[in-house]
Structure 1
């Protein structure tokens, strides 16, 4: 099943209206999970993950998203993530980034829809060059040129681009050819028990080699054991995310204390 990219007419006032939560039929907030730099022991980034205001899951919140509110939700998520991250002191952490998941099918024109992000970064004094936008590999590629245009515009604006869940979908290495992100996040299914699985080891090693040649930063996600983490470090995968380090913190930055 594919998702229609242009699900509704472009709303020229949307970038200003996205801050008005009353336009959405539901409320939401964010949890933050660290992505660790294994060389320094400090967070490389925090990923903003949507949650309900009473701690409800992402799935519960996303069940309210439809073609009528997708654009406003995507824009409001960006503003909320930047606002909360700034309030929690993320900008004060040394070289720490804020990672935000975005919906390509909610972006009509990249140069227009990025305005609210840049305005929020200015309003809340968050360095926009430390904002990373993630798109999942499972996003349909029927409109690949549209996603490529988004990535190109975000790079032009000095933002960081990332492909999330790499290895979980159907596009594979073709996404690297088409979109050339700054960052690639290896899906947890390729990470699980990698210290014991020669097949996963070979695949992860191949991805690491390709990304090294292309100058793409790798993040391994879904890490749950020390053995997984240590094996990935032996491959040269420096940045890691998972329950081994911290679960998402509801409106908080786990492991940020004292950094």
Structure 2
């Protein structure tokens, strides 16, 4: 994989304009909500084409040679848009562990973007995406450790699917665990899923990690999960991703 010469940090202007990539893209935002208190906990930044095309159209252009530059560009674009929209909640940014060469150097672009656009560092969450197999678990552990030492929150995305499983959870601890939508689908009518989700929620509570239920689409799913005490949610029941803006949120009634 080709990396930046001497880990050279890309400028915000390069990342924003796509010059370093050879293609350009933008972001949509989807809220992660605290349903019990009816507040928005964070917005996740999601890559989109310049015309709002889905992420798959963007990732067609990403390869081993530009993975690092794409990862850096995502951070800059997410921070710039969040600042422009006046985001007061936390901002959740996906990062690709195999694109992070040395965390203490790769984080510089994020720090520079936050300073340039006057976005508070304490509002940033880094989500570990499970789209690719982790090549070096100890390296990932060091990334999470370094980000935590810098004051960033960390999250493990899509837990229970792909490469984000119990082994990864055993190797390191993140502040947030996001349960994959396939575990959530029809959980209110599926005893096996109920058992698995209940067990994972108990483990996360023991670890001190907050749980986010991803992909919640129905009132039935929400009511069951809320009954377990899960407060943080993301999914179409609450809001779909909105291109370059912050969407309105639907607030279902918290069960008594």
TM-score in terms of structure 2 length: 0.92
**How far apart are residue 169 of structure 1 and its match?**
2.1
1:8 and 2:5 correspond: no
Question: What is the match of residue 174 of structure 1?
Answer: 167
Q: Which moved more, 1:19-28 or 1:209-218?
A: 19-28
Q: Which moved more, 1:130-139 or 1:201-210?
A: 130-139
Relative to structure 1, the CA distance from residue 58 to residue 183 in structure 2 (aligned partners, 3 Å threshold; closer, same or farther) is same
**How far apart are residue 142 of structure 1 and its match?**
3.0
Question: What is the match of residue 50 of structure 2?
Answer: 53
**How far apart are residue 106 of structure 1 and its match?**
1.1
State the distance in 2 between where 1:88 and 1:124 align: 11
3-state SS of paired residue (1:31): strand
Contact persistence 1:8–1:67 (CA under 8 A): yes
Question: What is the match of residue 253 of structure 2?
Answer: none
State the distance in 2 between where 1:223 and 1:120 align: 32
- State the 4+ residue runs in structure 1 displaced beyond 4 angstroms: none
**How far apart are residue 124 of structure 1 and its match?**
1.3
Contact persistence 1:35–1:241 (CA under 8 A): yes
Relative to structure 1, the CA distance from residue 87 to residue 170 in structure 2 (aligned partners, 3 Å threshold; closer, same or farther) is closer
1:79 and 2:89 correspond: no
Question: What is the match of residue 162 of structure 1?
Answer: 155
Relative to structure 1, the CA distance from residue 9 to residue 83 in structure 2 (aligned partners, 3 Å threshold; closer, same or farther) is closer
State the distance in 1 between where 2:135 and 2:21 align: 28
Question: What is the match of residue 3 of structure 1?
Answer: none
Q: What's the CA shift string for 1:57-112, capped at 9, x where partnerless?
A: 10100110112211111101101000000100113xxxx21001111111110000
State the distance in 1 between where 2:102 and 2:210 align: 27
1:35 and 2:19 correspond: no
Return 5+ residue gaps in structure 1 as ranges.
1-6
Relative to structure 1, the CA distance from residue 47 to residue 170 in structure 2 (aligned partners, 3 Å threshold; closer, same or farther) is closer
Return 5+ residue gaps in structure 2 as ranges.
250-256
Q: What's the CA shift string for 1:132-172, capped at 9, x where partnerless?
A: 11112453133111111110110011011111000012452
Taking the TM superposition and a 5 Å limit, the aligned residue runs for 1:112-131 are: 112-131=105-124
State the distance in 2 between where 1:142 and 1:71 align: 15
**How far apart are residue 174 of structure 1 and its match?**
1.5
CA RMSD of aligned residues (A): 1.4
Relative to structure 1, the CA distance from residue 53 to residue 201 in structure 2 (aligned partners, 3 Å threshold; closer, same or farther) is same
Relative to structure 1, the CA distance from residue 34 to residue 126 in structure 2 (aligned partners, 3 Å threshold; closer, same or farther) is same
1:135 and 2:125 correspond: no
3-state SS of paired residue (1:190): helix
Contact persistence 2:12–2:113 (CA under 8 A): no
State the distance in 2 between where 1:10 and 1:145 align: 22
State the distance in 1 between where 2:13 and 2:69 align: 9
Question: What is the match of residue 4 of structure 1?
Answer: none
Contact persistence 1:148–1:179 (CA under 8 A): yes
State the distance in 2 between where 1:240 and 1:33 align: 11
Question: What is the match of residue 26 of structure 1?
Answer: 23
State the distance in 1 between where 2:4 and 2:163 align: 30
